[in-house]
Amino acid sequence: MFRRISCVTALIVSGITGFNPKDDFDFPIITSASLTTKSSDHHSMSHDPSMHSGAHDVIIDKNGEDYFECPIYGPFHVGDDDFNATFKYRAKIEGQQILERLRVFTASGELLNAQTNTTKTYKDNALEEATFLVPIHNCLSSKGITLKFEILKKSNREILKEYSATIYPISSPSNNYQYYKNNVYESLPIGFYGDGQGMKAIKETINFTNLGDYLESDYYYRLEVNNKRFNYRSDFPLSYKSLNLRFEDHDNLFPYYIHDANENVVIPLDIIDNKGRLTLKYKTNFYINKRTLEVSNLYHSGFVFSSSFYLPINGKEHFDNKIIYLDFEEFSQSKITVSFPLRFISGKAIVGTAPEGEFYISGGIAND
């Protein structure tokens, strides 16, 4: 009988150690003389496609076609400082005198600000650069603004080229988990950049709908999180304050693991980002008692290193149908804070009674 128990223990331990399994006005409401706040650099982000989920590659056309590019600017907040924005362009305009202008409008088309650079003689197909102080501090409200960068013919102020985007300040939504469970969230445009062809507004799209309702354990009592997947798409890099699994432990099944003031076990998580397809993983490693499968965040005698979180032996009985919360705090640039309740479903053990184990022993008591 002792030999059979040893065999079962060896199977469990092998699971631990093997880790298997708008536009016609030039007289603004707010004049450029009001632009006295200092420039802020934090609104400009270098456009490196490798750093942004769903980022667009900028390709400079060297064959004389129209071209417009600027770095990523944003995200924005009401009251942010003014900032310098630089635009690069190439246009099929015959050699003539031009003016570069930046105008700011309300969403209803009311002119708020206009700035015009000094006269420039444009040589056909030349790559030029223009910089303006964007009056976001006095202009941006929750109703949003439209920015228009324009190239004008000096003689009659005819607009030869125009590039525009409408932007809004970040607004953190207060939706509950049921909304995110059934809907794909899309933010208002909260930034902009020039992609080589035009000025593009930047949004965030977050899809939590495939997170599911359940959390499971496998044969080796491991609490699995890597099958929890969702999606994020934006030209801004993904960010969040914290991401945790949380459940109450009034039965003190995890005596070696740190608890919060409410007797909750809180397990920090991290994200694997594969081109906007996100998967959860444990942020830290653990230590496991090979005999009892008790888990600790610190080393104790008789514990072994593990990259997985385990339920203690017989813990599945206490955990079956238990609610475990997946907590997002200030997730993404929109700073979404929401908790998803996930019902725990236990998988079969390796060895157990007939309905509970993948393998089970039938018959009487052995006489060895």
Instruction: Give the least confident one: 260-269, 319-328, 349-358.
Output: 349-358
Domain(s) labelled CATH 2.60.40.10 in the chain stretch across 32-196
Quick count: other Cβ atoms within 10 Å of Cβ 216? 17
pLDDT tens-digit map of 99-124:
999 999 998 899 999 999 999 999 87
Q: What is the pTM of this model?
A: 0.78
Eight-state DSSP code of residue 32 = G
3-state SS, residue 136: helix
Cis previous bond, 75, omega within 30:
yes
CATH number given to 32-196:
2.60.40.10
Amino acid symbol at 151: I
With 50 as the cut, is the pLDDT of residue 329 above it?
yes
Mean pLDDT of 47-54: 38
Which has more confidence, 13 or 295?
295
Of the pLDDT bands very low, low, confident and very high (cuts 50, 70, 90), residue 18 is very low
**Residue 140, pLDDT score:** 96
Mean pLDDT of 45-61: 42
Beta-strand ranges (E) seen in 208-302 are 214-216, 229-233, 242-248, 264-274, 277-282, 286-289, 295-296
